[in-house]
Structure 1
Amino acid sequence: MNITRENIDELNAIIKVKVEKNDYAESVEKVLRDYRKKASIKGFRPGMAPMGMVKKLYGKSVLLDEVNKIVSENLTKHLVDEKLDILGEPLPSINAESDLDFDTKEDFEFAFDIAFQPAFDMKLSKRDKITYYEIEVDETMIQESIENHKSRFGETSEADMVEAKDLVKGKFEQLDTDGNLLEDGIFTEDSLFAVDRIEEENIRALVIGAKKDDIIDFELKKAFANTTDLASMLRIDKEVAEQLEGNFRFTVQSISRHQPAEVNQELFDKVYGEGTIASEKEYKNKIVEEIKASFVSSSDYKFLMDAKEKLVSKADLKLPDAFLKRWLVAANKELTTESVEKDYPLMQADLAWQLIKNKITEEQALKMEENELLDFAKQSVLMQFRQYGLMHIPDEQLEAYAKQTLTNEDERRKMVDRIFEQKIVEYLKETIKVENKEVSMKEFEELFK
């Protein structure tokens, strides 16, 4: 086995791997002996076919497999041993010919094109400026949070007459064209719907004011046009709901009314725990604090995107573009030469940014401890629970969910990436000049257009 490298320029090289018979002969022979033991060849019992026949039937394919395996293993080892920082993976060379005559020769030479990561410095200082956009918390946001708390911790009670915001439970019965109950028609009890979800105003008016045991006939599909919701309400297949026509008779069985909680100490205790908040002023301050905290990830994301644009431009990396375009097509089945050519400027910027992040991570010795990953996972899980109104989750339960999430390799990788991005954001904030600017949510959203 002989491996040589010929540098074409600073970013491209050719690696040649020469394989001789003594590199592969033993492994090929071993595989063929295993084939002989297991192969089912007509006229011979397993393991009794002549080796010559086994070689004739399987020799070339085994040779190809074993040689390719040896080349792959030794090429990978060479790249590691030589500490070559390459981009992508080696590709069959278009700059040098391979000698691969498996029919008549016993020695073979493979030629591969490789590309190197560009060498560069990333020196940052307070002369480098990036704006950090802080999203302003306005009164509308505060009131929305308060209304959410009032609704979530309010109480539901039975009502005598239907009002616009009530939930109504009742019995649906399908009618024929004459307004009589349809024999073998759709029938369901205990169907629940919100009055304010009724789409047609005249049908909504029929329901508002109804009392228990009142009967209302209306065209159900006009009231609820969403066939998924309709199918769920009637407990039928969506395909059946899509074909539904005509009127239904609805008999009111019960009326539920939700009464929002009052803004008082009882609400403060339910939302944040007993004794945590002592006044309405503290309550609103806590809400502002939470909203600001929820905006940090968005502000950091914008900051990171602006840093990407500035640092990619500052580094001005020269990349082996021709090789990278070939590699992208070879490594991604969904990509074509045409699509790569069209999108390459974005791909090029993304790759340059990844190299810059790797550089910062390495030079600043940024590391992640396993407990950091667990804490991040716990926070992510907690945010998911809060979306469903579950604010206080026992720590042992939260940790169990977090550990379960981390068993998913894809989720784990995403979280690791996010943690290192956070560390890079913190490094940049300390190293460059950050100009803080408060903007409204509308102004912030405009920055992405």
Structure 2
Amino acid sequence: MNITQEKINDLNAVVKIKIAPEDYTEKVEKSIKEQAKKANLPGFRKGMVPAAHIKKMYGRSILVEEINNLLSETLNKHLTDNKVDILGQPLPVLDDTKEFKWDFTDEFEFDYELGLAPEVDVNITSKNKFTKYDVKADEDTLAARIKNIRKSYGKMTNPEVSAEDDVLYAELTQLSADGSVFEGGINHTGSIRLDQVTDKKILKSLVGLKKDDVVELDVQGAFDKNEVIIAKLLNIGEEDAKDLQSKFSITVKNVNRLEEADLNPEFFDKLFGEGAVTDEAGFTAKITEEVEGMFNQDADRKLQNDIYTSLLESVKMELPDKFLRKWLKATNEKLTEQELAEGYEDFAKNLKWTLIENKIIKDNSIEIKYEEVFHTAKQRLDAQFRMYSPSPMPEDQLAQYTATFLKEKDNANRIFDEVKALKVFDYIQSAATIDQKEIAYNKFIELK
């Protein structure tokens, strides 16, 4: 057997593999004998089928299978032994001029294209500067959060006249272009949340309504063409909601208002446990801590995105783009040319970032241990379970769920990649200069 590699340029190469009969004959004969022992054919006792008969009937398919196995083993060994760092997988070069007889005397030659990984130079120093924001709750954001929490624990009332945050329980009837009822059109009784109405003029027309009042509503204008909200309101599909142009007559059946819960010990105990909070100041402090914790998760994500963007711009590398496009098409048969053209830039960015990550891990001997993957997976599952039950799952049961979760290869790979990314970002932050800056949330969101 002979294998050679021809370098086309720094990013592309071709591997040529030549296979002679002496390279495959023994493997093929052994496979034929094994098949003969297992074969169950009419006219022969099981396990007594002559090898010559198997060779005559199935010899060519066995030869093809053994040649493919030999190619795969040889190519992988060549790449490993020679430390060839490739992107994607080798692609066979199709050559219509080569015709094989597959008669057990052939000399085979196969060529494979390789996309070579570029050299990556990543040097993080104190000259790399980033800003880590300490996000504080501004008055309006905090007030809105407190209002939502109080409403979540409040009680429903039915005022006579509607206000901006109320819900109108109303019958909605589809109208024709001339304002008459559209025969056979949509007629549904549902709840119109006024806090979801984005158009101020339309919102004003819905404030001050009483039971049995009738007004006209432009649903597309009211909800800024949000097909999800419109579909739910009218009990129709989202595609139908997207294309809907009609206005509606609404007849108010009832006005519903969710009153805010009183700030008293009973309310505090429901939220935080008995005696944890005893007054309004303590309540406000707790909510402030909660929202600022969420804000600073956003700040961490922004810092990571800033690092990602900066390094993608500063670390110069080229990719074997032509090869990668061909590889993507070869491994995704349903991928259209338009999808490839639209998605390739994002694919290339993610690939470049992976190369940067791998270089940082290699240069700094960063290890990712199973215990870290297990711990992260357990945290994610714990957070997921808490969405459905406020009571924490017993530790031993959670650990068992985590072990089962990580047995799925896709789950394990996803959590591994998450831990890998976090460790790389931690290293970058330790090597770079991170400036701390306090900022109000309403100013922080303007930075995004």
TM-score between the two structures when normalised by the length of structure 2: 0.69
Taking every aligned residue pair, what percent have the same amino acid on both sides?
27
Where does 1:126-205 land on structure 2 (aligned, <5 Å)? 126-156=126-156, 193=191
Structure 2: unaligned runs, 5 residues or longer: 173-187, 223-228
Residues 6 and 34 (structure 1), Cα distance of their counterparts in 2 relative to 1, 3 Å cut: farther
Aligned to 2:60: 60
Aligned partners of 2:62 and 2:328: how far apart in 1? Answer: 30
Aligned partners of 2:84 and 2:54: how far apart in 1? Answer: 41
Aligned partners of 1:75 and 1:114: how far apart in 2? Answer: 11
Letter in 1 for 2:394: E
Deviation per CA, 1:220-279: give whole Å up to 9, x if none: 99999978546769xxxx99xx9xxx99999x8x99864421123332222222233344
1:89 Cα offset (Å): 0.6
1:431 Cα offset (Å): 0.9
Aligned partners of 1:262 and 1:337: how far apart in 2? Answer: 60
Deviation per CA, 1:315-334: give whole Å up to 9, x if none: 31243334333323322334
Aligned partners of 1:209 and 1:336: how far apart in 2? Answer: 55
Aligned partners of 1:145 and 1:355: how far apart in 2? Answer: 42
Aligned to 1:110: 110
Aligned to 1:353: 353
Aligned partners of 1:255 and 1:443: how far apart in 2? Answer: 36
Aligned to 2:183: none
Residues 345 and 219 (structure 1), Cα distance of their counterparts in 2 relative to 1, 3 Å cut: closer
Contact 2:115–2:323 under 8 Å retained in 1: yes
Aligned to 2:384: 381
TM-score between the two structures when normalised by the length of structure 1: 0.69
Where does 1:42-441 land on structure 2 (aligned, <5 Å)? 58-93=58-93, 101-103=100-102, 105-156=105-156, 193=191, 229=232, 258-335=258-335, 340=340, 344-362=344-362, 363-368=364-369, 369=371, 370-378=373-381, 380-381=383-384, 385=387, 392-396=390-394, 399=398, 403=402, 409-439=409-439, 441=441
1:348 Cα offset (Å): 3.2
SS at match of 1:435: strand
Aligned partners of 1:307 and 1:201: how far apart in 2? Answer: 42
Contact 1:167–1:257 under 8 Å retained in 2: yes
SS at match of 1:90: strand
SS at match of 1:37: coil
Deviation per CA, 1:146-173: give whole Å up to 9, x if none: 112211222457x69787678899999x
Residues 288 and 170 (structure 1), Cα distance of their counterparts in 2 relative to 1, 3 Å cut: closer
Aligned partners of 2:312 and 2:71: how far apart in 1? Answer: 36
SS at match of 1:13: strand
Residues 352 and 62 (structure 1), Cα distance of their counterparts in 2 relative to 1, 3 Å cut: same
Letter in 2 for 1:5: Q
SS at match of 1:395: coil
Residues 346 and 6 (structure 1), Cα distance of their counterparts in 2 relative to 1, 3 Å cut: same
Deviation per CA, 1:165-211: give whole Å up to 9, x if none: 78899999xxxxxxxxxxxxxxx9xx9857869999999899x766x
Letter in 1 for 2:137: V
Residues 205 and 89 (structure 1), Cα distance of their counterparts in 2 relative to 1, 3 Å cut: closer
Letter in 1 for 2:359: K
Q: More displaced, 217-226 or 118-127? A: 217-226
Aligned partners of 2:191 and 2:309: how far apart in 1? Answer: 50
Aligned partners of 1:75 and 1:88: how far apart in 2? Answer: 14
1:379 Cα offset (Å): 5.3
Aligned partners of 1:201 and 1:140: how far apart in 2? Answer: 21
1:72 Cα offset (Å): 1.8
Contact 2:15–2:114 under 8 Å retained in 1: yes
Aligned partners of 2:33 and 2:213: how far apart in 1? Answer: 82
Aligned to 1:177: none
Residues 432 and 38 (structure 1), Cα distance of their counterparts in 2 relative to 1, 3 Å cut: farther
SS at match of 2:296: helix
Letter in 1 for 2:391: I
Aligned partners of 1:275 and 1:442: how far apart in 2? Answer: 33
SS at match of 1:106: coil
Residues 168 and 14 (structure 1), Cα distance of their counterparts in 2 relative to 1, 3 Å cut: closer
Contact 1:100–1:110 under 8 Å retained in 2: no
Aligned partners of 1:5 and 1:131: how far apart in 2? Answer: 47
Aligned to 2:175: none
Residues 194 and 347 (structure 1), Cα distance of their counterparts in 2 relative to 1, 3 Å cut: closer
Aligned partners of 1:333 and 1:444: how far apart in 2? Answer: 44
SS at match of 1:14: strand
Aligned partners of 1:401 and 1:162: how far apart in 2? Answer: 55
Contact 2:11–2:118 under 8 Å retained in 1: yes
Contact 1:97–1:111 under 8 Å retained in 2: no
Number of aligned residue pairs: 411
Aligned partners of 1:197 and 1:437: how far apart in 2? Answer: 34
1:422 Cα offset (Å): 2.2
1:372 Cα offset (Å): 1.9
Q: More displaced, 6-15 or 221-230? A: 221-230
Letter in 2 for 1:264: N
TM-align CA RMSD:
5.1
SS at match of 1:80: helix
1:354 Cα offset (Å): 0.9
Residues 75 and 290 (structure 1), Cα distance of their counterparts in 2 relative to 1, 3 Å cut: same
Letter in 2 for 1:420: K
1:13 Cα offset (Å): 3.1
SS at match of 1:130: strand
SS at match of 1:372: helix
Aligned to 1:180: none
SS at match of 2:357: helix
Letter in 2 for 1:377: R
SS at match of 1:275: coil
Aligned to 2:184: none
Contact 2:368–2:419 under 8 Å retained in 1: no
Residues 137 and 382 (structure 1), Cα distance of their counterparts in 2 relative to 1, 3 Å cut: farther
SS at match of 1:132: strand
